Amino acid sequence: MKIDSVAVGFLQTNCYLLCDETALVCALIDPGAESVRIKRMIDDSGCALRYILLTHGHFDHTYAIDALLRQYPDVPVYIHRADASDSHGNKLKFARLSDHNQRYYADGDTLALGNLTVTVLETPGHSAGSVCLLCENALFSGDTLFRMSCGRTDFPDGDAAQMLRSLARLGRLIGEYRILPGHEAESLLSFERMNNPYMKQALAL
Ligand SMILES: [Zn+2]
């Protein structure tokens, strides 16, 4: 397993490329902007793009999808149904793609990526359809868990109480994980359990 990343757009969203270097396949997580840089990251990996996976539907995590689908027209794009919109009306939700590309995932779903398995954890709070993605020792935490912080919950479908339940769920995962958040620097779950004030509050409830 190899993980590459680029920080894209004016909000510097972390876009990750999860690669199985033996099977030479990869999954792209949260392509928020700058499709040319993202495509270069995919090309440089030498892996074939199998999936686009979204931690949630906000535009700063999804904006480059239309441009990428022109390059990769057959790649499925997964999102939780609660963060997908059937219209372009709600700018905080992800506008539905054609049936050819649109897929939905929910808690406990797994996706095979070569010899790797990606597991979906529903972690609402930042948005109703926020998920985290687990693969071996990597936890792609979207805008749920940040290093020493968590995502904001003041959007219309955000929920601070749900956020605490989601942070507690992550904190109670057994073992150590590399935390790969939607913004800013990566971390370790053990560090967050000890030092993140929001996670500490959540784990004390
Ligand atoms: Zn967001």
pLDDT band at 95 (very low <50, low <70, confident <90, very high): confident
Strand-pair category, 2-8 with 13-20: antiparallel
Domain that holds residue 103: 2-204
Question: What CATH code is carried by the domain that includes residue 76?
Answer: 3.60.15.10
Q: 144, 170 in Cβ contact below 8 A?
A: yes
Tell me how far the alpha carbon of residue 22 lies from the centroid of ligand 1, in angstroms: 33
66-85 confidence digits (pLDDT tens)? 999 999 999 999 999 999 98
**What is the pTM for the complete model shown?**
0.96
From CA 52, how far away is CA 72, in angstroms rounded? 10
Residue 90: is its pLDDT beyond 70? no
Residue 2's CB is within 10 A of a number of other CB atoms, namely 11
Q: What is the pLDDT of residues 98-108, one digit of tens each?
A: 999 999 999 99
Residue 14 near residue 182 (C-beta atoms within 8 A): yes
Question: First CA to last CA across the chain, in angstroms?
Answer: 35
C-alpha 143 – ligand 1 centre gap (Å): 5
- Split into its structural domains, the chain has a count of 1
- Give residue 146's pLDDT: 98
Query: Cβ of 69: how many Cβ atoms within 10 Å?
Result: 19
Residue 62 Cα, ligand 1 centroid: separation in angstroms?
Answer: 10
Chain mean pLDDT for the chain: 96
Show the 3-state SS of the chain: CEEEEEEECCCCEEEEEEEECCCCEEEEECCCCCHHHHHHHHHHHCCEEEEEECCCCCHHHHCCHHHHHHHCCCCCEEECHHHEECCCCCCCCEECCCCCCEEECCCCCEEEECCEEEEEEECCCCCCCCEEEEECCEEEEECCEECCEECCCCCCCCCHHHHHHHHHHHHCCCCCCEEEECECCCEEHHHHHHHCHHHHHHHHC
Query: What is the 191 CA–ligand 1 centroid distance (Å)?
Result: 23
List 20's β-bridge partners, or say none.
Answer: 25
Centre of ligand 1 to C-alpha 19, Å, is 24
